[in-house]
Structure formats: C-alpha cells, structure tokens
Amino acid sequence: MSERWFKGLGKRPRFKSIRHYSGWTYPDSAGFKIESEGENGHLNLSKIGRIQMRGQAKYWGKPTTCTIVYRNGKWYVSITVNVLEQVLKPDILPVGAVGIDLGCKSALSITDGENHQLFDAPKFLKKAEHLIKKASIDKRRKRAPNRKKKIKASRRFKKAQLKVSKLIQKVGNQRQNWVHQVAAEIVSGNSFVATEKLEVKNMTRKAKKGKRKKQKAGLNKSILDVGFGMLRSTIKYKVEQIGGVFVEIPTRQVKPSQTCPKCGHQHKKTLDVRVHNCSVCGYIQDRDIAAAEVMLYWAKGILPGLGTSLEGADVASSTASTTKRKQAGSMRQLGQKKRQKSQSNFANYKLEDVETSSSGEAS
C-alpha cells in the first residue's frame, strides 16, 4: 500500500487494525503447511502457528494456494489442491438421459421421456425474510458508524449487524446445500443432461408495464430465491465431472415452451398457460414437462419437425462418454469439443481456534 503512496498514486497509508482485514492469501506454498489427508487436520501458518481445522474435502491432492477469510465472526481457510483427473471419473457411467426445465412453478421439471419428476423450490429466503427484516430494524436502532463524523459503531450495532449477516448467510448455506443435493440426485442416474441455455439476467429483468408486471415480479423473486444460475452450473459441473454430456439448448432456436414434443408443432403460450395442449396431435402434458421433453428430444436429435443437429448448442462432453453412447449422427460433434479438465478443487475448512492464536481479537 505504501508503495503507491510513495509514488504519489494512492492515499496516505492508514493504520489498519486487525478488524479491518477480511482475510489474506498465500500465493505459493511457502507461507503455509497443511497437515491433512483431506479431512479435518491442522494448518501451519508462518508467524501465526498451528491451528486446528474442521471440514472435509471431496477430493484431495497437493495444496497449492491457501486463503484465509474472516466471515461473520468466523475464520475459514480455502485451499486449492491439485487433483489427479482419474480420481474424478467413476468406472461406469450412469446410463440415464434427461431433459430439465428450470421453471418457476416447480423449480425443476425433469423427464427422461417416460417418467417425469418435479422438484419444488424450497423457499429459504421467504421463510427467513421476516427474521432478517426484524434483525435489520433492530440494527437500525443502534449507533451506526460514520467516518466523516468520526463516530464508531457501537458494540450493540456490531452485534446486531453480525446477527443480520448470519441470518443471510444461513439462507445462502441452505440454498447451496439444496442445490448440491438436487444436482447429486440427477447425476447419480444420468450422464446425459439437456437443459435450456438460461440467462438469469434476462429472466429477472423487470416487466415494464401492464398486467404481466406483477406476474413477472413474482417469477423474478422465485427465480432469485432458488438460485437457478447456481443450480445450472452445479448440475453442469457434476455431469462433466463424471464424464457425462451436458447440452445447452439454444432457447430462441428451439423454443422449448412453445413446441410440441410429440409432433414438433409450434404454438405460442403465454406465461399463465400451465398445460401444453397440442392442437395438431392432441398431446396433453404439463407445460414444464413438455418443455423438458422438447429439450431432451432435441438434444438426442429425435425431436419431430426440427433439424437434428447439435449445431448451435453448447455441448460439454468427454471422449469417454462419446465412445460409450452411440447415439448416431447427432452425437458426432461431441467428440470435437475439447474436454475441460477440472484439475483444481477447492477445499473449504473452518478454522477452529485461530482467534486465539492470531493476535487479532475478532470483535
């Protein structure tokens, strides 16, 4: 910091007490040493000492970087490790293939063409919302910090603030936990997943006017509460990790919610139409399931009426899966895509008693 000051670039260096640090990183393995085989263990930090850590890494390897983070009154360490690629692949790929529609009525609508499954979105934020509001109001009554007026935050303010951020973090943890469970369940039986190329940003954009405004707002809130972006990327990550195929359907080209999975007939549906009822072939199905079917069939190259090429779709695949699944022509492009090697893994640990050994009292 001070280097910038001496060059006349930055602000004058200010004394920073320990509570102004939210963490730091060891860029190479010189400053830290980890005594662990992936579960619990100890962390040796230079100039700080030996600290017990709690947690478990899914995959373990040689530690390369180490980051210490202070969040919500607790210290955490995030360790990057090099993982051998073979560790990540199961011997036998699960054989299932599914299409997934990420919606608002049900968080996920999953189909393999015969069996359908709906996952409801747990409303973690909605459940905790009133608690967060109450705690925030409580916080506002305490003396907040104001640097201009040189007012320090009161002890009660800090305490109240901690309460608020803990509540918010809990919602985040619950959501993450749920996302991982759902993704793990999907991947346990399927190695071929087709889903919409979804841009959450667009979906959460406010409807400008009219009757749809309220509808859109409700959809937005449920989208944000589920964390679809996280859900999608977790499913993708897990599918790719086992060497499966993750197909992203180009929404504008395929129009999953406007297309009949049985005959390919396209018919525009507004958001409030919950049932797919084909006027051409008479196929009746839940709107979201029908959309998931369209995605699955399109990815497999068996959607009637439309081209059967995977061109335009983002396909993540591995050579292992393409040799195992001989899905004829539409799969030919899969092998061309390079396999992304996920070699790095993060292991997050909670530090047990770093408060006492590091000089800073976390107040």
Which ranges of the chain does DSSP label H, i.e. alpha helix?
A: 2-6, 124-140, 155-189, 200-203, 212-226, 228-241, 251-254, 287-300, 319-324, 354-357
Q: What is the DSSP string of 212-268?
A: HHHHHHHHHHHHHHHTHHHHHHHHHHHHHHTT-EEEEE-HHHH-GGGB-TTT--B--
Task: Characterize 85-96 residue by residue with b for buried, 16 or more Cβ atoms within 10 angstroms of its Cβ, and e for exposed.
Answer: eeebeeeebbeb
User: Could you tell me the smallest distance in angstroms from the CB atom of residue 111 to Zn ion?
Assistant: 16
Residue type, 81: V
* Pick 237 or 283: Cβ nearer Zn ion: 283
Pick the stretch among 96-104, 179-187, 279-287, 338-346 that binds Zn ion (CB under 5 A): 279-287
**Does the protein bind Zn ion through residue 283 (CB under 5 A)?**
yes
Q: Should residue 278 be labelled a site residue for Zn ion when binding is judged by CB under 5 A?
A: yes
Q: Least distance (Å) from Zn ion to the CB of residue 265?
A: 5
How many residues bind Zn ion (CB under 5 A)? The answer is 8
For Zn ion, the binding residues in 248-267 under the rule CB under 5 A are 260, 262-263, 265
Nearer to Zn ion, 131 or 263 (CB): 263
Site for Zn ion, residues 35 to 94, rule: CB under 5 A: none
287 touches Zn ion (CB under 5 A): no
Bridge partners of 153, per DSSP, are none
Cα-Cα end-to-end distance for the chain: 25
Closer residue to Zn ion, CB minimum distance, 1 or 273: 273
Residue position matching structure tokens 């439309």: 306
| Per CB under 5 A, 275 contacts Zn ion | no
Q: Is 237 in the site for Zn ion (CB under 5 A)?
A: no
Measured from the CB atom, is 190 or 259 closer to Zn ion?
259
Pair 176, 122: CB distance under 8 Å: no
Which residues are at the interface with Zn ion (CB under 5 A)?
A: 260, 262-263, 265, 278, 280-281, 283
